[in-house]
Amino acid sequence: MGFRFPDGFRWGTATSAYQVEGNNIASDWWLWERQPGTILDGSRSGLACDWWRSAERDFDRMVGLHQNAARLSIEWSRLEPREGQWDQAAEARYLEMLRGLRERGMEPLVTLNHFTLPQWVADRGGWLWDGIVPAFARYAAQMVRAASTSVDLWTTLNEPVGHLFAAYVLGRFAPGRTSPLGFLRALLHSVRAHEAAYHAIHDVQPTARVSIAAYLRPFQPANPDSWLDRLLALRLDHLVNWMYLDALVTGRLAGPFGLRAHVRTAVPTLDFLGVNYYTRSRVAFDIRRPRYLFTRPELAPGAAVSDATDSEIFPDGMLAVLRRARRYGLPIYITENGLPDADDDLRPGFIVEHLRRVAQAIDEGCPVRGYYHWSIVDNFEWADGWTLRFGLHALDPSTQIRVARSSAALYGEICRDNALPEGTVPSGLPEVS
């Protein structure tokens, strides 16, 4: 047996409501995905993974993998499909799901917003609407009031920087805007929404631990000899990785396009740190790409890539972001880590090599408390539709038949043993340094 993780380490898988529940008809994404050209393969979420009716069958699969934890999200649009109208039946279903996890020996980590909004919020401007801050806080308080006996760990927002950039600059996510100024306004509203929700949660549940799930990735210059590439990497590192988190510990939000805002009441509003890690970004300055902040991504020569062919498999980046995140002095949960790999030929090595970096970080004193693999089952992957397969279990969305991939058994052994396996790592992935 290899490295043994600390006692009480949380082993889980992560999901988001819209991607797995199915038929979220009151969500802004339900309308968005029906607009021509918004989804790569023209597919629809539809029934998704049918969690709204039968999530428990995947909970049983989690039990089979010896998980002691699970991360899932709550759909605001189900609970408040129209402004001021709380759906008691939807609340009861979520409480049933949370109890189901507890009864199976898994501790839930719940995200209150994973990219989607109720359509009525979107109709008022979404993250550009001034009223979103109090509305989000009210929703958070009401959900926490209902679920506080089942949930101790909450994340308010998932990947707020990347999500809002995709939604308000790149136009790839709902509402499909391409306005840098709109992005800045949405970003500031999201900071204030997190702050308001954090305090609302603690007013209801003083012992709750609350954070965000931040997508962290190393940014490196494609050409280390180019001062433009080096400067670009530094700026993007601040914008994407640390600007938002720093605002929640310093009270100052400082970013691109002259963004300067004081958010003193947002300090401190992190009880732990959720880290989503997938890959690194090697960036080159390109004057022809202003919409992408003058960035041209470049893969390293000979890099191993997932089915998302622009995404390099880079385990060392996990160790790098954990080392830097340690500066906040907070417990860390790796709230997402995975790759799209329909053939499952890279996923076993991906899991082992990334967990080796986690083990190294823990050995260096980094306070990592848990790991949630993305994901238990293939799901609807936003603008990429059903083209990317992240699941430990393959899913045919037309029949809802699941088939365990070989990586599921490997991950289950790690969860059971609370330790890394001994033996060789599949070829094609770098060894731990």
Active-site residue set? 159
Contacts of 38 (CB under 8 A, 6+ apart): 32, 174, 176, 383
Residue 185's Cβ-side half-sphere holds a number of Cα atoms within 13 Å equal to 15
CB 243 within 8 A of CB 306: no
What's the token pair of residue 155? 């994340």
Strand-by-strand arrangement of the 219-221 sheet: 219-221, 281-285, 295-297
Q: For 71-106, b where at least 16 C-beta lie within 10 A, e where not — what string?
A: bbbbbbbbbbbeeeeebeebbebbbebbebbeeeeb
If residue 295 lies in a helix (H) or strand (E), which one and from where to where? strand 295-297
Nearest to 375, CA basis, from 322, 410, 339:
339
| Nearest alpha carbon to residue 49 among 340, 336, 377, 337 | 377
Alpha carbons 419 and 182: distance in angstroms, whole number = 46
| Residue 21 per-residue DSSP state | S
Please name which of 126, 138, 129, 131 lies closest in space to residue 84, comparing C-alpha atoms.
138
Total Cβ atoms within 10 A of residue 34: 10
289 and 295 Cβ atoms separated by less than 8 Å: yes
- Output the DSSP codes for 303-364: --B-SSTT-B--THHHHHHHHHHGGG---EEEEE-----TT-SSHHHHHHHHHHHHHHHHHT
Strands 107-113 and 153-158: parallel
Question: Is residue 151 helix, strand or coil?
Answer: coil
